[in-house]
Each structure stands twice: as C-alpha cells, then as structure tokens.
Structure 1
Amino acid sequence: MLAICYGSQAGDRWWVAYMTLLFFCLVFSLPTGRNSICGYRSCPATNPSMLNVHLVPHTHDDVGWLKTVDQYYYGDRNNIQHAGVQYILDSVIDQLQKDPARRFIYVETAFFYRWWRQQSQSTQRIVAQLVNEGRLEFINGGWCMSDEATTHYSAVIDQMTLGLRFLNDTFGECGRPRVAWHIDPFGHAREHASIFAQMGYDGFFFGRLDYQDKARRMKTKEMEMLWRASESLTPPLADLFTGTNL
C-alpha cells in the first residue's frame, strides 16, 4: 500500500507554482553524458562578495485533496478548487525554452508521469534536454509528498521507490533528486528525515512548524540546521542538512 499523498494548498495560491527564496541553488549532483551539465556546476554564477539570492519557482500540486487526482490534473470541478496541473507543465516547458537563465523544480512524480506519457517524442526530447542542462530539476522524487503522521515506513519507502524508479529509468543520473521536499505536511517526523538521509539526499526542506518554534528559530537564526535524525544510527549516517520554509 502506498503512503498517503498529503498536503494542503494554502489560501488561493492554487494557480501558480509557489516561489521561494533559497540561498543556494537546488540542482542535481553529477553530470551525465557529453552534453549534460546537470549538477551543482549548472548553478548560475555567483558573486562571492555579495549575498546571492536565487528565485526558484516550484510546484506544490496535491495528489488528491479537495478533488480527485483526475480532477486536479485535467482542471475539472474548478468550482471546488481552480487547479489544472497539466497546464502548469505545459507552460513551464514553453517558458524554459524562451530563456536559458530560467530554472524550475518539479516535485510530484505522479502528475509528471501522467503528463510525460501524453507528450510527443519531440516534446520528450526537449524535456530531456532541459533536465540534462540542469534547468528542469526534480526534487523529492516520490510519487507524492508523504503524509508524515500516520503512514508506516514501508509505505513511505514504496511510494518513494515508485517515483524515483521512473525518474531514473527516464532521465538517468540527471533525473536524480538531491533535495527532499516536504513543504506542506502538518507536522514532521524524525523518521522521515532519517529515511531521506539514508537514501542519500543532500538536504531536506520542510514547511509548517509550530509557531513558537518558528519564532524562536528566527530570533536565534536557526532556521537552518543539521538534523541528527536517529539516536541509534552512527553519525553521520542519519544526519541531514535541513532548512525550514517561511
């Protein structure tokens, strides 16, 4: 049984990929192929004497919440929530081709898999090139963002395996996510961070934490941390760089 795909979309910001300020570039790890430049070296050049802020548009597309998965994908029942995921991908691929400086990160493999299977070979080649150039990045990589409250670890592993296997089979090393991404579950489990660390992720970003914890962390400048996610595993096996989204 797959883990519950979870996450609510805040307010009315259903119609656009959320923007987040990141103080480093979230991209892939290693180049693949002679013409591939994916990896950390595909980050835009920075100025070491300045504070470099990267604006990275990303998705937050619930794999079922207020509507069914089909209704989210095709944009049906917009009287409930105005969302049509296929159009996000259509517009993103179009806009990435118009400016080589643009970047986009995509999260929910369940929706991307469905969209990918509907595309022509020419569109698939364009997408593969964008991935190889590090301009279209996959993060998290699971079929969805898992619910962290009530799911068994085996279900989490199953749904992550399903999404990651598709990305690996389709795009190879350039499709490998390096960042875990849980920006909207209501609460976060230490075991999830431990699983991500053991899967080889370089970092973990999550949203929604207790307002008192958030206020303290902002005051003490501890919004970023090294999460020691296991008491039993020998460090650094379950240690993971972690940042909290505002």
Structure 2
Amino acid sequence: MWPHISVKYPQYVYTTSGWIQVIDVPNYNPKRLQVFIVPHSHQDPGWIETFEGYYQSYTKKTLNNIVSFLSKNPTWKFIWSEIIFLEKWFREPSSQTVEFKRLVANGQLEIVTGGWVMADEAVTHFSAMLDQLVEGHLWLRQNLGITPNVSWSVDPFGHSPTMTYLLKEAGMDKMVIQRVHFGIKRHLAQRQQLEFLWRQTWGGYAGTNVWKQN
C-alpha cells in the first residue's frame, strides 16, 4: 500500500477529518442515511491536570451522570474504557455503583478495551502495554465478572500492530481506531476500505486478524 499513498497535505484541513474534501462522489442513489452516535468516555489520567484533579472535576460527575441518565432512559446506551477511574469511583461505594453493575449486566453500559488506561502505542514497550491491560482485565473480572471483546482506541498518537496483537490475544475481535495519518485515511476512504482486517506482517496467519473500524 505504501508506494501508492500520497502524504501531500490537503488544501483545506479540518482537525479530525482533513481527508474528506478529496473524496469525489460523482453520482449516487439517494437513500435513507443511517447515522450511528456512540456516547463514550475518554478520560485522561494525566495531561493538563493531575489524576485526582481530573477525577474530582470531571470523571466522578461523568460517572454519576451516566448512571443517572441511563437508569431513567432504558433505551440509552454508553461505553466506558478507562478502568483506573472506574476503580477509584468504586472505592466510594454507593447506590450508584450497585446501579452501575445492573446497567452493565443488562447491556446498557458496555466496557470497551478494559485497559487500566487507553495506552499509548507509539513509544511504549510491549510489556507496559500488556501490564496495564492485564491489570484492567483482572479488575473487571473480580468486580464486574466481565471480559471486554471490543477495543476502543481513539486518542493514542498512532496505532501499533503490537497492541493489536495483544488485544487479539486478550479476546478482542473488533477494534475502533481514530488517530490515523490523514494520507492513510484518505487512501482507504477513496477505496472504501476504512473497515479492514488488520493482520501483523510477522503474524502470517489468519488467527491474528482483528476487524478494524477507522
């Protein structure tokens, strides 16, 4: 694929979708558009504020609101990914945590990836990526009795085939990724290949395939 990918910068760039304006649709058959909206979490354990600062200012309120709104609206759904914040929230037992477990059990609230954090994949050693995944999955098994099978990776700066392999071995069969170089995303969009099977070049067999949505 690489010899055919242009990394020339688009004339007009939008923060998350600079490739859109180069997709030419000469004709199409009008039909009803199906739109998927996925309410989800992305809680940084550390960036501009401290872990405690984020928890008290944002995350605790977010978790409380998730439980409150989902309980009042049985058709609503939400996904959560960062276990480090969930573990801290559960250390403050209340009726909210009991209701959280019920919402997970009835399918309104889905835990995705299940890592301790949404791990960086660009400069991190595989042992660190694996350790945080094991820690998050152990907590989920012990406290909620679940193991995620869908990965949600929307903020790491780049995506690693090593992380894909680790997630596959941890039971993931689908992944959603976001931070892809605009040249690659444009190339895939032009060929309607934003959904694809990711197989590591060193894997060499179908057992390492993971279904990717980009």
TM-score normalised to structure 1 length: 0.71
Q: Please point out which of 52, 61, 76 is paired with 1:102.
A: 76
2:191 maps to 220
**CA-CA distance at 1:54 after TM superposition:** 3.5
**CA-CA distance at 1:234 after TM superposition:** 4.9
Query: Counterparts of 1:1-246 in structure 2 under 5 Å?
Result: 53-75=35-57, 84-120=58-94, 122-172=95-145, 175-231=146-202, 233-244=203-214
**CA-CA distance at 1:56 after TM superposition:** 2.0
**CA-CA distance at 1:230 after TM superposition:** 4.2
Structure 2, unaligned stretches of length 5 or more?
A: 1-14, 16-31
Contact 2:64 2:96 in 1 (8 A): no
**CA-CA distance at 1:125 after TM superposition:** 2.2
Residue type at the aligned position of 1:187:
G
Contact 2:114 2:140 in 1 (8 A): yes
Q: What's the C-alpha RMSD, in Å, of the aligned pairs?
A: 1.8
**CA-CA distance at 1:100 after TM superposition:** 0.7
**Separation of aligned partners in 1, 2:200 and 2:141:** 26
Name the % identity.
Answer: 33
Contact 1:227 1:240 in 2 (8 A): yes
**What whole-Å deviation, never above 9, does each CA across 1:151-205 have from its counterpart, x for those lacking one?**
1111111111111111111111xx3211112101111111111111121201111
Residue type at the aligned position of 2:162:
E
**What whole-Å deviation, never above 9, does each CA across 1:115-143 have from its counterpart, x for those lacking one?**
111131x3332111111101111001001
**What whole-Å deviation, never above 9, does each CA across 1:59-108 have from its counterpart, x for those lacking one?**
11111011110111111xxxxxxxx1111001110000111100000010
SS of 1:134's equivalent in the other structure is coil
**What whole-Å deviation, never above 9, does each CA across 1:198-219 have from its counterpart, x for those lacking one?**
2120111111111111111111
Residue type at the aligned position of 2:37:
L
Structure 1, unaligned stretches of length 5 or more?
A: 1-10, 12-49, 76-83
1:81 maps to none
**Separation of aligned partners in 1, 2:179 and 2:46:** 19
Contact 1:184 1:207 in 2 (8 A): yes
**CA-CA distance at 1:239 after TM superposition:** 0.7
Residue type at the aligned position of 1:94:
S
**Separation of aligned partners in 2, 1:182 and 1:123:** 27
**Separation of aligned partners in 1, 2:102 and 2:42:** 23
Q: Which is greater in Rg?
A: 2
TM-score normalised to structure 2 length: 0.81
**Separation of aligned partners in 2, 1:71 and 1:218:** 39
**Separation of aligned partners in 2, 1:56 and 1:103:** 8
Contact 1:191 1:230 in 2 (8 A): no
**Separation of aligned partners in 2, 1:71 and 1:156:** 24
